[in-house]
Structures are given as C-alpha cells and as structure tokens.
Structure 1
Amino acid sequence: MPYHLPMSQAKTSPVHLTAAATGALPRALLLAICIIYGLAGLFGRDPWKNEDAAGFGVMWQLGSGGLQDWLMPNIVGRPYSDDGPLVFWIGGGMIRLLGGWLGAPDAARLATALFYFATCALIWYSTYLLGRRDEVQPFAFAFGGQPDARSYGRALADGALLIFLACVGLALRGHETTAQVGQVCFIAFTLYGLVRSLDKPVQGSLWFGVGLGALCLASGPILPLVLLAATLIAGLICRPLPLMRLLTIGAPLGVLIIAVWMATVYFGATVTDDAVTYIREWARYDRHTYGPPSLAAAGFIARNFFLFSWPVWPIAAFAWLSWRGMRRAPHVTLPLSFLAVLFVLLVLLRSPGDVQFILLLPPMAVLAAFALPTLPRAAINAIDWFSLLFFTILGGTIWFLWVAKTTGWPPRIASNVFRQLPGFQHTFTISAVIIALAVTVAWVLIVRWRLSRAPKQIWRPVVISAAGTTLMWVMAMTLWLPSINYGKTYRDVAQAAQLALPSTYTCVQPIRMGDAQLASFAYFGHIRFGGPDDGCDILLRHDAVDYGAPSSISHFEWRLIWEGRRPADRDERFRMYRLVDLSHTAPPRPTIQRRLPRQP
C-alpha cells in the first residue's frame, strides 16, 4: 500500500534524478562480484582459530555423531550452548551429504556460502521493495524525465548490495563457520518480513515470525527479543507498519518454532536432566554475555568498529541527515530501528569482539542505500579516490610482499615475513598466481571503466569499494592462503600430539583447552577425549605459563611425555602427561659407593 505522509509532515523529496541515473548495474558484473567474493577462501584451508575452528567442531560432531548430538550440539562431548543449533544443523548436514567428497571442513563451509548468498538476496529485495514506495520517489519534474519506481528501486537495491560487499570487516568474518553468519542472514530475513508486511501484511508477518524463530534457534533469546522491541518502536513511529498483524501472527509463530525445538530436545533426549541443563544453559548464556556498559568495551568499539564497517557507516549517517524531513517513513524507520537496538546490544557486551560487528551490516546497508541519490559530488569523489588509492596501495603491497617471500629479495623484507612464520616452507603455486593476476587485471579494468565512462548512476560511489574488497580478499586467499593457513591452524601441533600418545590409552582429559583447540585436536589428531568421570590416563593441558606437573596421587604419578605449540603463537603451550602406576615400577637399584684408600 503506498504511503503518504500527513500534510503536516509532507516534505519535498530530497532526491532530484533523471531516468539515466537509475540505470541498472550490469548483471554480469554484479553477479561476478558476489560469487567471486562469496566463494573465495571457502575451500582448500583448515579451520582457523578461534571461532572458525569452534564452529566447525560442532558441525563435525553433528556430521559424524548420532541423534543425541543433533538434539544437544557438543564438541566431542563438551556441551556447546553458546549459540542455538540451527546453523550447526545445516553445517552438519552438509558434512553428512558432501563430507566424503569435499572433506569435512570444506563441506561445512558450504553452509557459510548458503547464508552469505541468502543475506545478499534479502538485502537486495528489502531495499528494492522500499525503493518502489511512493514517498521515496525522486522529485517529479514539470516535463517528466524522472525515473519510474521499478528502475529506481532496482538501482537502490544494487547500491545496497554493493555497500554490503564493500564493508572491510565482512571479508574474514563472512567466510567463517560460525553461528554469526547465520545470525546475519536471519536478521536480514526478519527485516525483509517487516518490509514485505507494508504491502502484504499477512505474508510479511509470516516471514517476520519465521525470521524471529530462526534467529532464536541460531543465537539465543536476547537477539530476537531486542528485534521484537525494535519492531514495537518502529510500529509506533511508522504508521504504515501493520504492528497488530506482526504481533498476532509473526510473534506467535516465532514462539511456536522455539517451543517445538525445546519439546523435541526434552522428549528426544535419553537423559531428561541433560536436556533440561542444555536448554537452561542456552537460555542463560545471553545473560552472562551482556552487562552494564564499560569503558573497556566502549574503547574497543571506538577503535575497531568504524574501520570494520567502512564505508557503510558514513553513508548510513548521511542517509539520516539527508532524509531529515521524512524520518518517520519506512525506508528510514525500519532499518534504523534494527540498527539502533543492535548497536545498544553491542555496547552492552561484556567482552566485545569484531565477530559481533557483522550483525549490524544488513540494516546499515539498507539504510545507507537511500543516501546514494543524495550524496553531493564532493562526497562521491572523496569515496572514489580514497577507495582507489587505498586498495591500489594495499594491492601493490600484497604483491610486493609476496614477491619478496618468493624470491628472497629484498632480503630484509623477506626475512621479516618469514620471521612471523617460523618453520613455514613456501611453495610456488601457478594456479594461485594466475587467479591473482586475473583479479588484478579485473580491478584495473573496473577502475578504468568507472573513471573513463564516469557513469551517472546512483550506485557509482561504491563500485570501486566493492571491487576493491573483492580484489583484496581474492589475492589474500590465493597468494597468501598457505601462509595464513599455516599461521592460524592447529593441524601440525595436533598431529604432533597424536604421535606422542601411547599405543594404548583409555582417553585424554583436556585441561584449560578452549573449544577451538578441543575441536582441532580431536579432528586433526584423532584424539579420543573424555571427561573428569571417565578415568582418563592422559592429560592434555593448555598453559599460558609453566604451572609444573599435576599433583600426584597415591602410588600414581603424572609424567610429562610431550609439549608443543603452534609455531606462529608464543602465548600458548600444550603439555601432555601420562598417569604412571608407581606400584608396578621396579624400585631403582641403590648406588654402591666404593671407599677409596686414604692417601698417605
């Protein structure tokens, strides 16, 4: 249903465009950027520390485990209730289907690709639907020439997708096997439900309810609750939003999805107490995650968020300024309400990390898209030239360091590179070089096309930025993938620990080992882990410093049989101890000291 502001709030549209400014971005270029960016770095590497390896560990356990693992996800027996099971179900299903062909790590990352492409589609369609509404249409000229609503909405949607892809921090975090990649998708899913409800209230409410339920299953109860609060705020501000339909259809549907999952866990678990404990810990984890604002959290956000979300945040801020006369309209209210509550949640984190930053990107990209038609020429030129210089210098640096690593010249630069990766053996891979050269040539052609043709379309300020992030990520995942993989994997140290294990042992009890370490040692080292009640005769301990041997028991002693660490990490060390029965050990022979004759 078209939305018209009341006469008291009606403002002239800040957008003055001709039809030529809303020409669609070439579909081949847009799809190529999305596909290359999404698939680069997904295959041919190990799970990386920390969140990536932990998420893979849960998926691998599901892919190789039984029904109880699917009901209550875990890492080799250690319950994992930090996030809901939905993302891990999909990753575990991929391992079951394709793990024998691709290998478990690559198969698990197919779930990451699925969430990435779904997020791109949801951002595009959300912006497209908002961009077709009457209140956002460009100023109508007296003699015509303004774009039609369909073309205008498509141009805005292309811009939103390019803005999302241009985000610097999305590169690494968007390619990991973590629950957050699914949470980003379901945030975009829920936002799409709100947008769809503006013209189709029942259908949009169903989308909204499924999004809330899926988000809760992929995270915890806090995240969907704050989005529900954002919906209430948006409904009070934005009159076209069918708030009653959303609350009476969407919200109960989301609750039903969670109730069905909880009932399945409760009645399907072999031990009811374990199911109750798992659900209780899952519900409590969010409450332990958030707390009062702290200076440490504020400092971390101030240092990292603005670089992580560049260039999305300045464009989104300009959208708020440029549409100041229509801030109660859906295209501002809906994404901004989501963005505001998610940012508040970010500030309340007890231990903030950049992995949570990506949750803000879908609503921020949708909001930023509506700044593109209003950006002044000076701002467009500033974004273009900054991106051109930044990514050209960065790309040149990546090539220069790779040449130094490959040829050994200049010797000082080469030695500095290898100093960061002690023990790394560099190999020349012709296919990686060809791909890196191809994306470099593509970057030059895109820049030349952008600067020589000087297109007038509204998406032009972010083409170079999106192409630049794609260039950097592909080059990193080709020229530098072996080096990065060597520095971030636990493969070598886990396999070394496996070789140190006795030929027969009961189980290995992990001490102070994180989820990523536990998963990596179990997968790469094929180590059989156990709990405190399993009577394990091997201890594998993670020590930041040397705490000495574990306390001995009567007639038993813990003896060190191996210690090691990852070459690229000096802050962690692993020590393995074996339980030795002293009662079956032959006592040492007494030393006979011969008395020498006294010298005269």
Structure 2
Amino acid sequence: MLTYIPPEKRPESKPTEKPWVLLLLAFVWLWPGIIDHDLWKPHEFELHAAVQSVLYQGQFWAPVVAGQPYVEQPPLYVWVGSLFQSVFSPWLLSEFTAIRLTTVLFMAIGLACAGGAGRHLLGRRHGRSVVLILIGCVGLLLAGHRMDTWAITFAGFALSLYAMTRANDHTALAGFGLALGWVLVFLSSSLSELLLVMLIAISMLVFARWRSRRYMVILAMAAMMAIPMITIWPYALYQSHPEVFQLWWERYAFGGFGGWKYNFLAHEFGYYATVALWYVFPAWPLAVWTFMNRSKVSHRVWQVCGIWLLVGVLWLALMRETYTENALILLLPLAILGAAQLDSLRRGAVAFLNWFGVMLFGMLAIFLWLGFFAMNFGWPTKLAERAAYFSPYYQPDFDYFPMIIAFLFTVLWIWAVTRKHMRGRQAVTNWAAGMTLSWSLLMTLFLPWIDAAKSYRPVVEQFQAALHPNTAARLVSGQDCLYIDAQENRIAWLAWEAYSDVKITMDEQQNCQYRLVVLSQTQQNNLKQWEVVWRGHRPREDYEHFVLLQKQQFEALF
C-alpha cells in the first residue's frame, strides 16, 4: 500500500560526496610550489637567512639578515623553519624545502580549523564546502605556497574563528583555541593583527546571545593564557637586544600601520576593494547569493561573519600600507557565507560556474601543456620563442616524474568535471579542482622554467664562471674577498650568500680586491669610462643589474 509522505518529513538523500576526495584534493593543493625550487621574492631570501642565523649563530630572539637585525616580522616562522631544517635537511630534503614545510603545516592547520568553523556554524557537510571555497580562491593560493609568515597568520585567524564557533558547547576548548590563535597571529604578523582578532572577539558582546557568562569566561581564559605567551618574545628581545627592540617598537610593531613614529592613517582608499574582486573570488559571489537568501541563514552565522567582515573592512580601510595579503582577513567569513546557501544555488548559476571553470581551467591546462612542449621541443614555434624570451637562462629539462604527476592530475580533473547531476557543492568542487590542476601543472611542468627566470642562481653562476680560475680560487679559499654593501644592496648580499662559494664580507675595512654593486640600467651609462670585470641581471630586469668592479676602478668611480 502506498503512503504519502510530505516533503518536509522525507528523509534526506544520502550524500554522494566522499570525505576522502576532499582530503586528497587538499593534500594535492598543499604541496605544489613547496618542493625543489630556489628562493624567490618577496620574503624567502630574508626568512632563509634568518633561519641560518638561528641555526649557526644562535640568534634566537633577534635573527640577523645581511648584518642587520630582522624584526620586520616576528620570529615564529623562523623558529619552526629552523626546527624543520635541522630535522629534515640535508638527508631527506633541501634546506629550502625543509623550511617551506612550515607553510604546509600551518596551511593544513588553517584549512582544518576553517572547515571546523563551517561545520559548527552551518551544520554537517558544510565544513567541506568552506574548505573547497578557500582552496578555489586565488588569494589563498598565492599566500599558501611560499616561504612566508602569512601562512601562520591565516592559521591564527582560522583558529580564532573556530574557537568562537565552539563558545556555546565547549568552554575550555574555545578559551584555549582563542588564546592559541591570538598567539599565532601576533608571532607571525604584528600587534595590529593581534588587536584585530581581539576586537572581533570582544565585539561579539554587542549581541544579546553572546553576552553570556560562558562567553565572558572564554574571553577571560583566552586573555589570561595569551597575554603571558605574547609578551615572552618582546620581553626577551628587550632584555637581550634593547636597541633591536627599540627598532621593532618604532617601525614594525603595528605591521601595516608602522610603528609609533609613523602616521597611522595614510591609506590609499579603495585599494582593497579592487583587490578583493579577484583575491577572494569565488567566495564573494557565493556570499552575495547567501545575502540574497539571508532569511534562510541563522542569526548566529550573520553575527559571527558580520562582525568579522565589519571589523576587517574597517581595519583595511585605515591601514597605512597596502599589501594584498592583508585581504586574507576577508577570506574566512566570506567562505563561510558562501557555503551557507551553496546547495540552494539555482541550476543556471551552477551550470554557469561549472561551465566557466571548465572552460577557464581547461584552456589554461591546454596552454600549459603546449608551453611545456614548446620550451622543451621547440613546438609550437611562436610559443617556444616567447618562452625563451621571458626565461633565456632555461635549459630544456625533460624529467619523466613531473610529467607523470602532471598527467595524472589532468586525468583526475577530466574525471571530476565530467560527472553528471551537477549541484552547487559539486560545481565548487570542480572549481577547486581546476585551480589545483592549474597550479600543479605550473609547479611541475614549468617549475624549472620559472626558476630560471625568478631565481638569482643563474646570475650568480654566471658571475663565478666569468672569474679567472686563479681569482675564483682565491675568493673561494678566502685569500681574497668580495665586498657587498649589505645595507644598500641587500638582495645582492642574500643571493651571493645563498648561491655563491666565494668569501663575502660587508666590512669595507677588509680591503677586498672586488666589490659588487647593484645599479639600474640608466646608472650603468656612468661606468663606460671604467673597466668592468663582469655584469649580469635576471631576465627582463631593468632596475637591478649587478656589476663587479675591481678596487682601483671602484675608488676612482666613487
């Protein structure tokens, strides 16, 4: 006998997605760009040098980079990177890769906490959607695959948000998580970001449901645990290196706002509004859809994400300096809001998102495969010419292992995007898979080509090859030295220290026979009357040309 069951009483359909697929996708997303490439700008040279300072000079509280204390960023990344290098290098990984494991560790923590926050705010299975949206955002891709302290800051943001979502059901976990999140944020960024997450947590008290004894206890616990841990590094720095502490306090204590001697409110308004259009895509269009259906989302979600966005936008609007990574503060709340109504996306929107992603990432994958064949086999000819133009130091590198990995990624992506019965969740999965595919192809097929263009190693190797054998032997043995002004030519000092075997000094009193200077292409016109031993630069570089001068020419020139 057939029995009618109203729609609202019918059991939910069994979910078709599999958690292990998300774990595999996140694992694949984490690693490309981490393994086996040289140091790249903007921060990898400084962080690598700071790690060596900790390991070999014992400068734990105040690492030294190019002869100067490195306090632009707090030292947590340097500490963890030092641990990883000492454990895994050189027997398993290169020192560069070992240090970058710090990024992998904290990005994994950040994604896990973001997924947990989504689950506790939105319900079961929504945490996966939050992670997929984050993986699909360009901003997190750029910040999460290099030697950079922003990976730890993101983890601190996510942990703080996750702790706030557990405030109603687990007081101890929420208090400890909030404290640890604050500590991670401060020890990877500055007092500015610390005050930001603290203000977000305190601002929740404007809502009646958050003005509870439990939440008051959580805030008190977090403050009592975090403040002592936060003050350890500044106090130790003040006791051991008071002049370095003074430098940090005056210039870098508040990050993008500067220090006490700076004008805090001197921001280029509108910068982050433009950045957010691509940096947090596709999180923001999905969040707009949720806003259009806001009556279906609980007040708790709007309270947490609304306060986070309001305080974050105000913080960005008032900031003195403009860094795209600061927009990371917008990613978490927008990803959660984007996941809230993901399953209610209209069929047309789902089809468009999936079609746009398939076309965009499919064409990009085809271009990357063609580019790989062009730069290694000379076909297509025009593409090979452009590849040689932008990276002239590249030598064809036909390695089977990266090709196999890239081929497997391509096949898996084709399988993912050809599934039927598309829904909002699957469309976002396909977008995240396309982003992962494109990045993976770039970091497998194109990594040697990119390294030849971005790395300073080819330039340093040209420098050493240009030296007379006797001169090279004297510089390597220490019988003679190469002087580099580390204050004016910091990148030259760091590059030659990382890749060269010659003895380098920043002490002008050592009377070195050779000196390396960095000049722009225009400034080199003034050197025509002088005999130059060697000059070199990275491909397509107009403002950073390295010139090697002998002592007598240098004295006459300057």
Give me the TM-score of the superposition, normalised by structure 2: 0.86
- Output the CA distance in 2 between the equivalents of 1:545 and 1:194: 54
- Output the CA distance in 1 between the equivalents of 2:441 and 2:553: 55
What's the counterpart of residue 74 of structure 2?
84
- Output the CA distance in 1 between the equivalents of 2:324 and 2:447: 21
Give the CA deviation at 1:275: 4.5
Amino acid at match of 2:100: R
- Output the CA distance in 1 between the equivalents of 2:38 and 2:290: 40
- Output the CA distance in 2 between the equivalents of 1:325 and 1:30: 26
Do the aligned partners of residues 455 and 409 (structure 1) sit closer, same or farther apart at CA in structure 2, a change above 3 Å counting?
Answer: closer
What's the counterpart of residue 42 of structure 2?
50
* 1:95 and 2:67 aligned: no
Do the aligned partners of residues 439 and 90 (structure 1) sit closer, same or farther apart at CA in structure 2, a change above 3 Å counting?
Answer: same
- Output the CA distance in 2 between the equivalents of 1:438 and 1:581: 57
- Output the CA distance in 1 between the equivalents of 2:94 and 2:380: 38
Do the aligned partners of residues 123 and 491 (structure 1) sit closer, same or farther apart at CA in structure 2, a change above 3 Å counting?
Answer: same
* 1:306 and 2:239 aligned: no
Amino acid at match of 2:88: L
SS in 1 for 2:35: coil
Question: Does the Cα contact within 8 Å between 1:81 and 1:285 map onto a contact in 2?
Answer: no
Deviation by residue 1:548-585 (Cα, 9 ceiling, x = unmatched): 6999xxxxxx98543211124233112234434999x9
Equivalenced residue count is: 532
Do the aligned partners of residues 517 and 322 (structure 1) sit closer, same or farther apart at CA in structure 2, a change above 3 Å counting?
Answer: farther
Larger radius of gyration: 1
- Output the CA distance in 2 between the equivalents of 1:368 and 1:331: 11
SS in 1 for 2:204: helix
* 1:194 and 2:184 aligned: no
- Output the CA distance in 1 between the equivalents of 2:106 and 2:281: 22
**1:176-575 to 2 correspondences below 5 Å:** 176-237=146-207, 239-240=209-210, 242-267=214-239, 269=240, 271-278=241-248, 280-283=250-253, 285-288=255-258, 291-292=264-265, 294-295=267-268, 298=270, 300-324=271-295, 329-449=299-419, 452=420, 454=421, 459-497=425-463, 500=467, 503=475, 504-505=479-480, 508-510=483-485, 517-526=492-501, 530-531=505-506, 537=512, 539-547=515-523, 560-575=532-547
**1:168-179 to 2 correspondences below 5 Å:** 168-179=138-149
Question: Does the Cα contact within 8 Å between 2:84 and 2:102 map onto a contact in 1?
Answer: yes
Amino acid at match of 2:134: F
SS in 2 for 1:198: coil
Question: Does the Cα contact within 8 Å between 2:532 and 2:547 map onto a contact in 1?
Answer: yes
- Output the CA distance in 1 between the equivalents of 2:101 and 2:546: 32
Question: Does the Cα contact within 8 Å between 1:197 and 1:204 map onto a contact in 2?
Answer: yes
Residue from 36, 40, 57 that aligns with 2:32: 40
Residue from 526, 551, 557 that aligns with 1:579: 551
Name stretches of at least 5 consecutive residues in structure 2 with no aligned partner: 1-6
What's the counterpart of residue 57 of structure 2?
66
Question: Does the Cα contact within 8 Å between 1:512 and 1:541 map onto a contact in 2?
Answer: no
Give the CA deviation at 1:227: 1.5
Do the aligned partners of residues 198 and 508 (structure 1) sit closer, same or farther apart at CA in structure 2, a change above 3 Å counting?
Answer: farther
Give the CA deviation at 1:411: 1.8
- Output the CA distance in 2 between the equivalents of 1:494 and 1:460: 48
Give the CA deviation at 1:26: 0.9
What's the counterpart of residue 3 of structure 2?
none
Deviation by residue 1:34-60 (Cα, 9 ceiling, x = unmatched): 111111221121121223333333234
SS in 2 for 1:419: helix
Question: Which moves more between the two structures, 286-295 or 162-171?
Answer: 286-295
Question: Does the Cα contact within 8 Å between 2:155 and 2:184 map onto a contact in 1?
Answer: no
- Shift >6 Å, 4+ stretches: 15-18, 548-551
Do the aligned partners of residues 407 and 277 (structure 1) sit closer, same or farther apart at CA in structure 2, a change above 3 Å counting?
Answer: closer
Give the CA deviation at 1:287: 3.0
Question: Which moves more between the two structures, 104-113 or 237-246?
Answer: 237-246
**1:582-597 to 2 correspondences below 5 Å:** none
SS in 2 for 1:314: helix
What's the counterpart of residue 4 of structure 2?
none
Do the aligned partners of residues 429 and 98 (structure 1) sit closer, same or farther apart at CA in structure 2, a change above 3 Å counting?
Answer: same
Amino acid at match of 2:82: G
- Output the CA distance in 1 between the equivalents of 2:314 and 2:429: 31
- Output the CA distance in 2 between the equivalents of 1:310 and 1:18: 35
SS in 2 for 1:424: coil
Deviation by residue 1:487-522 (Cα, 9 ceiling, x = unmatched): 111112233445657623456332565655543321
Do the aligned partners of residues 574 and 251 (structure 1) sit closer, same or farther apart at CA in structure 2, a change above 3 Å counting?
Answer: same
Give the CA deviation at 1:397: 1.7
SS in 2 for 1:70: coil
- Output the CA distance in 2 between the equivalents of 1:16 and 1:87: 51
Do the aligned partners of residues 534 and 462 (structure 1) sit closer, same or farther apart at CA in structure 2, a change above 3 Å counting?
Answer: farther
What's the counterpart of residue 26 of structure 1?
18
Deviation by residue 1:227-286 (Cα, 9 ceiling, x = unmatched): 21122222213623654224322123222112222233334x2x5444544455442554
Question: Does the Cα contact within 8 Å between 1:60 and 1:104 map onto a contact in 2?
Answer: no
Give the CA deviation at 1:465: 0.3
Amino acid at match of 1:230: I
Deviation by residue 1:415-436 (Cα, 9 ceiling, x = unmatched): 1221111232222222222221
Deviation by residue 1:278-301 (Cα, 9 ceiling, x = unmatched): 455442554328844655x62x54
Q: CA RMSD in A?
A: 3.2
- Output the CA distance in 1 between the equivalents of 2:511 and 2:86: 30
- Output the CA distance in 2 between the equivalents of 1:348 and 1:33: 37
- Output the CA distance in 2 between the equivalents of 1:497 and 1:434: 35
Question: Does the Cα contact within 8 Å between 2:157 and 2:329 map onto a contact in 1?
Answer: yes
Give the CA deviation at 1:472: 0.5
Question: Does the Cα contact within 8 Å between 1:164 and 1:361 map onto a contact in 2?
Answer: yes
Question: Does the Cα contact within 8 Å between 2:378 and 2:384 map onto a contact in 1?
Answer: yes
* 1:75 and 2:75 aligned: no
**1:162-173 to 2 correspondences below 5 Å:** 162-173=132-143
Give the CA deviation at 1:19: 5.2
Give the CA deviation at 1:309: 1.9
Larger RCO (CA under 8 A, 6+ residues apart) = 1
